[in-house]
Structure 1
Amino acid sequence: MIDITTIGWLTIDDIVLTNGTCKMASRGGGALYSAVGAHMWNPKVGIHSVAGRPYYKDTLTQIEARGIDASSIMRSEGNGLELWLLHESEVHKQQIPKLSSSNALGLDAERGPVNGPHAQALGFHLAPQGPESGVANARRIAAFPQKPIVTMDILADSFVNATLYHDLDFLEHLTAFLPSEMEIARIWRPGSIEGWLKENAVRHRCHMVAKLGERGALVCEAATGVLTHVPAYAAAVVDTTGAGDGFCGGFVAGLVAGEDAVAAAAMGTVSASYVVETYGALETCIPSDEQRKARLDDIRAATRAISY
């Protein structure tokens, strides 16, 4: 039984940090980082994705060794998505496909729709992928007979056409939408991020979460429009790659566990705090229940409602 399925890209990342540190050939991608974030809270997590042929066997071996189900990861005949991850500051990053990389949108087509045991999950997280693929997956999964929880993150980098997200009707198929503050500003350009979150949470009856990086997250509850600030945990930061994806994984795990949006965001923040303390998704610490609880208690104590 799979409780949570993450869907999106797996990548091979060459990471360049602001201090000049390089981490080459690190396994990453939103599907993997979000699965790692969810797996901290729920042992029944699987990934639906595609891995490049040169990396396929080792990628599956490493993911399965983590305890995450990799049986819905298919092999691409190409190299898969190979990226340069360039950190220009703590918040400004670029993802640039390498010349040897497969086409990202082509990998969406290779991945295809989720089927089998992974389609029976209680919750799905749509990690960054092409806009057409993400919206199509949201529409299809929302119609599954088990009426699953569906959360979605996006990407606004130059190799996708982010203008396709302008029309927010796809929110009707989601339980929660979790873009970053920068993506909201770049795509929708609202006069007020709080107002934008509230308007769409009420209109589409979808939890709206703006990821704020080191400042935490703004959570706007579906239908009611109640706004809450959930702070980041003061982690010993090594590399922020995948922090937002880890947050999304913890968040969907919270919703699947029956928590409300604010409690789920606190769980996502705990997941992100462990992701940033090392290089690479699969090197992320697996905390004990006591360690998780201590961080969760700190975050909950600092969580505050916002008047808007």
Structure 2
Amino acid sequence: MNSNTSAVGNKSVLLGLIKLMRPKQWVKNGFVFAPLMFTGLFLDLASVTQTVIAFVLFSLASSATYVVNDLKDIEQDKKHPIKSIKRPLASGQVTPAQAKQWLVGLYATLLLGVYFQPLVMAVIAGYLLLNVAYSFYLKHQPVLDIFTIAIGFVLRVYAGAVAISVPLSSWMFVTTLCLALYLAAIKRRQELLQTTQQGRAVLEKYTVSLVDRYAEMSATGALLFYSLFVMNARPEMVLTIPFVLFGLFRYWYVTEALGEGESPTDALFADKQLLLTVVGWIGVSLWALWPAGAV
């Protein structure tokens, strides 16, 4: 009886530790694949392999930052109406000691990445340091907190470029930055509306109208820079512009009318039209960039 109880308890802790890594959020690391797609190297096995390795390493790194953040915010998360139930540390499913041991294991695994992709790991090291600064200081600073989140997405794209030894284009940099700022601004907007400033002190320094303007400016910039990039550098991708425009419209609808958006990943998987838009954009992009004569 005791052994059964112990086994159930161990399974619960293991599931909690996996949940602590937030594998569902790994979809954000898909930005690592952007350089592979836009350079047309997605049919090159070596480039694909290196990008997949970079994706795995970045996923482990992002999971490590989630553990650090949850350890730091455990008391605030207990006051949050959703996080107090869903976060393993805040709900008591995982103890801080267990989370710290898990974090050491994640860092140890990441060290192995230096052997496979030392340059990518240099980018990831910068990402980890940035997120430590975010967890302990930057997340409490208005505007800086939004830009820190956005820079994390830019570093993902940069890591993808480093993995296949290609330069990060200025178009991709500024488009990614604007898109990420849009997502971060919407995230703050939904937190303001749904949590009434509980558990995150920086929310007291924002207003809904302010972050709405941030989101509008960022969305406009993302669409403008992406369209200019396509028309100047990749005219064969012009058919992808309507997908981007519809995706921005639909995401705003999902956040405004359906109340999603505090987690961009949850919003993506919760709405079939939004998910199909992303899949459609990827499909049309691959079709447009497919090398001539390739099978």
TM-score normalised according to structure 1 size: 0.32
Q: Greater share of strand residues, 1 or 2?
A: 1
- Radius of gyration: which is bigger? 2
TM-score normalised according to structure 2 size: 0.33
Q: Greater share of helix residues, 1 or 2?
A: 2
